[in-house]
């Protein structure tokens, strides 16, 4: 398994942004891509890197949290707000066609600033992605798969928060890029597949059921569809509300109070789109569709917001 960078460095800003001495100021954590300027002599496969950043919902106090020769993505906070899970892997499988070792695994970092630790060790050529904390914060569900073709190792897995115990739940590649736990911790949703977190048994959700990211009070869901971001009532009958036009949406996150949504997507006019690297940015908008604000600089590529 090819190593792609120096040891992960979590900047002290992570601790100051999430300290326990006083209620933390709300922040949005996300991944951002930049050209490999600090390592100009690296081969072309390391031309692009992704590190973790945080920013306040008003766009101020943008902070860089990591600086490595890797691609870090999909930050997600534990229910108690003490640990941040994320993926870390080789840039070759993100910035270009993956034809070699992938080496993408799950990591966790403590809000206290303690050194991060690696939780999973996938076989060569496999990617661990889509980390999702269980409601009790004791384990993470994730997707393991080959980035090229279906394989016997593909499936949904569980790992305990210390990285000691790994358990495979399903035997096939899920048709989903994100996982969601039920509030009681018994079921994991992967698209319309409902996976029993204890037995791994898979059933299908009702075809009429709405799928998306539940709000903190579980009354609304947020989702991206047909070039826009929407919210809709979980209960049948309520009409969806279009919040903002956006394509290539790579993540949606609810604010803790359920009044706003952060999303990463592309809103640049077609004439200025870069075919190889669309400028997806981080935005925040109210659930009433008001107050749309861009949080990241023009030209930056942002992914996978997580609000805390």
**Coil vs helix vs strand at 17:** helix
Mean pLDDT, rounded, for 168-175? 90
Q: Which backbone phi and psi does 44 adopt, to 5 degrees?
A: -55, -30
Mean pLDDT, rounded, for 72-88? 93
* pLDDT score for 26: 87
- Domains 1-205 and 212-308 fall in the same CATH topology: yes
**Coil vs helix vs strand at 33:** strand
Task: For residue range 223-282, list pLDDT tens digits in order.
Answer: 998 899 999 998 777 899 999 999 989 899 999 999 999 999 988 654 454 544 567 899
Is 70 exceeded by the pLDDT of residue 156? yes
Mean pLDDT, rounded, for 155-183? 92
Task: For residue range 84-98, list pLDDT tens digits in order.
Answer: 999 998 765 544 444
Query: Using 50, 70 and 90 to split pLDDT, how confident is the model at 22?
Result: low
Task: For residue range 27-71, list pLDDT tens digits in order.
Answer: 999 998 765 444 455 554 445 678 899 999 999 999 988 888 788
CB 69: neighbour CB atoms within 10 A? Answer: 16
User: How far apart are the C-alpha atoms of 112 and 124, rounded to whole Å?
Assistant: 32
Higher pLDDT, 209 or 188: 188
* pLDDT score for 308: 86
* pLDDT score for 292: 96
Is 70 exceeded by the pLDDT of residue 192? yes
CB 305: neighbour CB atoms within 10 A? Answer: 25
Strands (E), 111-227: 117-118, 127-133, 139-145, 155-160, 166-168, 180-181, 187-190, 193-196, 202-204, 213-214, 220-225
* pLDDT score for 87: 94
Length of the chain, please? Answer: 308
* pLDDT score for 58: 94
Of 18, 33, 80, residue with least CA distance to 277: 33
Query: Using 50, 70 and 90 to split pLDDT, how confident is the model at 151?
Result: confident
Q: Write the class of the CATH domain 212-308.
A: mainly beta
Percent of the chain scoring above 90 in pLDDT: 49
Mean pLDDT, rounded, for 195-223? 87
Choose the most confident range, by mean pLDDT, from 9-23, 30-44, 88-102, 194-208.
Answer: 194-208
Tokens read off for 171: 């035997």
Higher pLDDT, 205 or 194: 194
Query: Using 50, 70 and 90 to split pLDDT, how confident is the model at 305?
Result: very high
Q: Strand pairing of 139-145 and 127-133?
A: antiparallel
* pLDDT score for 97: 43
CB 152: neighbour CB atoms within 10 A? Answer: 8
Computed over every residue of the chain, the mean pLDDT equals 81
User: How far apart are the C-alpha atoms of 140 and 174, rounded to whole Å?
Assistant: 16
DSSP per-residue string spanning 218-267: SSEEEEEETTEEEEEESSTTPPPEEEEE-EEEEEEEE-TTSSEEEEEEE-
Residue-range domain boundaries for the chain: 1-205, 212-308
Topology adopted by domain 1-205: Neuraminidase (2.120.10)
Query: Using 50, 70 and 90 to split pLDDT, how confident is the model at 4?
Result: very low
* pLDDT score for 34: 63
Angle at 61 between CA 78 and CA 65, to 5 degrees: 50
């Amino acid at each position: 398994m090819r190593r792609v960078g120096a040891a992960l460095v979590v900047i002290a800003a992570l601790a100051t942004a999430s300290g326990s001495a006083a209620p933390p100021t709300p922040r949005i954590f996300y991944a951002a891509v930049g050209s490999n300027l600090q390592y100009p002599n690296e081969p072309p496969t390391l031309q692009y890197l992704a590190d973790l950043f945080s920013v306040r919902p008003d766009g101020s106090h943008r902070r860089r949290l990591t600086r490595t020769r890797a691609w870090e993505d999909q930050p997600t906070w534990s229910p108690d707000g003490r640990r941040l899970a994320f993926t870390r892997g080789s840039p070759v499988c993100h910035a270009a066609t993956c034809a070699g070792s992938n080496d993408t695994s799950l990591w966790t970092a403590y809000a206290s600033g303690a050194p991060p630790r690696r939780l999973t060790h996938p076989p060569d050529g496999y990617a661990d992605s889509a980390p999702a904390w269980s409601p009790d914060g004791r384990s993470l569900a994730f997707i393991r798969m080959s980035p090229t073709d279906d394989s016997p190792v593909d499936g949904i897995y569980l790992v305990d928060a210390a990285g000691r115990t790994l358990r495979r739940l399903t035997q096939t590649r899920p048709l989903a890029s994100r996982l969601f736990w039920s509030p009681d911790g018994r079921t994991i949703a992967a698209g319309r597949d409902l996976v029993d977190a204890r037995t791994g048994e898979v059933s299908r959700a009702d075809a009429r059921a709405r799928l998306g990211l539940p709000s903190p009070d579980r009354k609304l869901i947020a989702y991206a569809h047909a070039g826009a971001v929407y919210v809709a009532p979980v209960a049948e009958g309520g009409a969806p509300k279009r919040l903002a036009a956006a394509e290539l949406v790579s993540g949606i996150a609810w604010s803790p109070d359920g009044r706003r949504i952060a999303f990463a997507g592309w809103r640049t006019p077609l004439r200025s789109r870069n075919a190889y690297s669309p400028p997806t940015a981080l935005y925040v908008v109210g659930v009433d569709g008001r107050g749309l604000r861009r949080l990241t600089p023009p030209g930056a590529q942002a992914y996978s917001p997580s609000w805390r």
